[in-house]
């Protein structure tokens, strides 16, 4: 059973039972084994999910959706701020200037536009200070990717102390934007800040932030949704020469959300960058087992090519990386020609941000917590070991769980029956401990009546196909 804390954890990924066909693609791809199949539908175990979005990528029928805020919510505020990550500008052709993209965002209805990475130079200084002050803890882990933070909470709870307790660039820029406009005399209650997200995990980071009670951001906009709107505006504006001036980001800032964006700029000791969630899991297992030495800082990202590979990015991730690296080179070459007073520039000595950059403690929420009572938990762990040992270890998924080990865990937690294993069923049938009808009923409870409906085989097309298949098999045996 989920604890109350787990039940309150927000998830951006939602499963639509009316569309789901129970194909098990999502169950098999999930890196934290957070999905089961029951009654022919995918079912999410909320205490295991980290909103990485791998299930969203593989669903063949679009049964997994990303919950997002209504765009019209921006009009609940008179001062409307858009926080645009640099990776958004990388979705457009090389011929489209980043300034034109930001101008089009403002034309869409926002009164102010800030690029998320405006806070990177400030954050980079704080990171290096943090690494220097916390040298005994190695490796320290970047909090940039919310999916990784939650992965550590649920799968590697002993490593939560390694997470750097500093806000991400989006939060720093949001704080700066709100403070800047408030200082100009704008009523804080009239300021709405909306972040354009490349992934589901960053939606969760806003709706259910880790290390703080409430996010400074008021809403989240799907990047794919905004891309289509902006692309239409850019086509309509083709040929317009007047584009509002935006202070160009440094090359470092432009590439901060890409793989090696953080790691290449850490001065205090060796750093390593790892992307794609299964690579991250493999490496964290080595860290947890104390097999890794000599690394002071880890940049870990759940998506392949980091934010360029987010599930809500409409463009090709490799092309996006290439475009951003070109933009970074261009930005560094022209920054000197811009006056420093342009809106959005965050100084590295910003006192307000310095006093508001820290996160509170990150707590573990282990998905492997078997019982609040330690003695009972040890008994359950022994039962899981014994049950797993007697299962076939083929991880076929026919039982509705992604692996034999996960089925053993589900059985011990009273969420499944050992009889759901097709191999156990056959063993029981051979020993007259189960009849075929009971086996069919168990399979129907997992995969639904539709998949085991005998009437689906009784038509003029199916029967000849089955007979032909049988004849082909017999010929092969001869």
Q: Where in the chain is the domain with CATH 3.30.70.20?
A: 1-67
Tokens of 297: 């800082």
Interval 304-356: pLDDT, tens = 999 999 999 999 999 999 999 999 988 877 765 555 544 446 776 688 988 99
Question: What is the C-alpha to C-alpha distance for residues 142 and 269, in angstroms, rounded to an integer?
Answer: 14
At residue 167, the 3 state secondary structure works out as: coil
Full DSSP string of 291-355: ---S--EEEEESSTTGGGG-TT--S-HHHHHHHHHHHHHHHHHHGGGS-TTSTT---TT-HHHHT
Q: Give the orientation angle of helix 200-207 with respect to helix 146-155, to 10 degrees.
A: 80
Question: What is the C-alpha to C-alpha distance for residues 1 and 413, in angstroms, rounded to an integer?
Answer: 8
Domain 1-67, CATH: 3.30.70.20
The pLDDT value recorded for residue 1 is: 35
CA trace torsion 461, 463, 466, 470 (10° rounding): -130
At residue 209, the 3 state secondary structure works out as: coil
The pLDDT value recorded for residue 10 is: 84
Task: Output phi, psi for 116, to 5 deg.
Answer: -50, -40
The pLDDT value recorded for residue 468 is: 72
Strand order in the sheet with 271-275: 140-141, 297-301, 271-275
pTM, two decimal places: 0.88
Interval 251-280: pLDDT, tens = 899 999 999 999 999 987 899 999 999 999
The pLDDT value recorded for residue 4 is: 36
The pLDDT value recorded for residue 342 is: 46
The pLDDT value recorded for residue 346 is: 76
Tokens of 447: 């995969």
The pLDDT value recorded for residue 343 is: 44
Closest CA to 380 of 407, 406, 409, 405: 409
The residue ranges of the chain whose pLDDT is under 50 are 1-7, 241, 341-344
Contact between 101 and 155 under an 8 Å Cβ cutoff? The reply is: no
């Amino acid at each position: 059973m989920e604890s109350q804390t787990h039940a309150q954890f927000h998830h951006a990924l939602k499963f639509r039972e009316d569309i789901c066909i129970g194909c098990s693609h999502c169950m098999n791809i999930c890196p934290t084994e957070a999905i089961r199949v029951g009654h022919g539908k995918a079912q999410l175990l909320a205490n295991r999910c980290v909103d990485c979005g791998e299930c969203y990528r593989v669903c063949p029928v679009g049964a997994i959706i990303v919950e997002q805020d209504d765009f019209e919510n921006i009009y609940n505020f008179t001062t409307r701020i858009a926080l645009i990550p640099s990776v958004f500008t990388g979705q457009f052709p090389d011929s489209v200037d980043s300034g034109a993209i930001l101008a089009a965002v403002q034309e869409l209805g926002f009164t102010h536009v800030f690029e998320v990475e405006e806070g990177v130079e400030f954050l980079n200084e704080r990171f290096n200070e943090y690494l220097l002050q916390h040298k005994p803890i190695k490796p320290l882990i970047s909090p940039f990717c919310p999916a990784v933070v939650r992965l550590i909470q649920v799968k590697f709870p002993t490593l939560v102390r390694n997470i750097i307790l500093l806000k991400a660039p989006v939060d720093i820029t949001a704080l700066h934007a709100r403070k800047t406009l408030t200082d100009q005399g704008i009523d804080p209650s009239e300021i709405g800040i909306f972040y354009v997200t490349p992934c589901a995990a960053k939606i969760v980071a806003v709706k259910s932030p880790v290390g703080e009670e409430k996010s400074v951001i008021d809403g989240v906009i799907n990047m794919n949704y905004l891309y289509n709107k902006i692309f239409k505006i850019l086509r309509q504006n083709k040929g317009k020469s007047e584009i509002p001036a935006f202070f160009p980001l440094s090359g470092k800032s432009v590439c901060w959300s890409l793989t090696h964006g953080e790691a290449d700029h850490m001065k205090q000791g060796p750093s390593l960058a790892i992307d794609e969630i299964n690579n991250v899991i493999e490496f964290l297992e080595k860290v947890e087992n104390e097999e890794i030495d000599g690394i002071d800082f880890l940049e870990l990202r759940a998506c392949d090519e980091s934010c360029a590979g987010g599930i809500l990015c409409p463009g090709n991730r490799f092309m996006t990386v290439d475009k951003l690296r070109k933009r970074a080179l261009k930005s560094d070459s022209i920054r000197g020609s811009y006056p420093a007073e342009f809106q959005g520039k965050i100084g590295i000595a910003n006192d307000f941000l310095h006093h508001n950059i820290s996160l509170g403690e990150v707590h573990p929420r282990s998905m492997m917590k078997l019982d609040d009572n330690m003695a009972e938990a040890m008994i359950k762990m022994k039962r899981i070991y014994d049950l797993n040992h007697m299962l076939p270890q083929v991880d076929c998924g026919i039982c509705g769980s992604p692996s034999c080990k996960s089925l053993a865990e589900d059985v011990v937690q009273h969420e499944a029956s050992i009889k759901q294993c097709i191999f156990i069923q056959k063993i029981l049938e051979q020993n007259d401990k189960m009849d075929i009808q009971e086996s069919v009923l168990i399979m129907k409870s997992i995969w639904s009546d539709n998949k085991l409906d005998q009437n689906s085989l009784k038509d003029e097309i199916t029967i000849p196909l089955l007979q032909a298949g049988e004849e082909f098999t017999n010929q092969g045996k001869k």
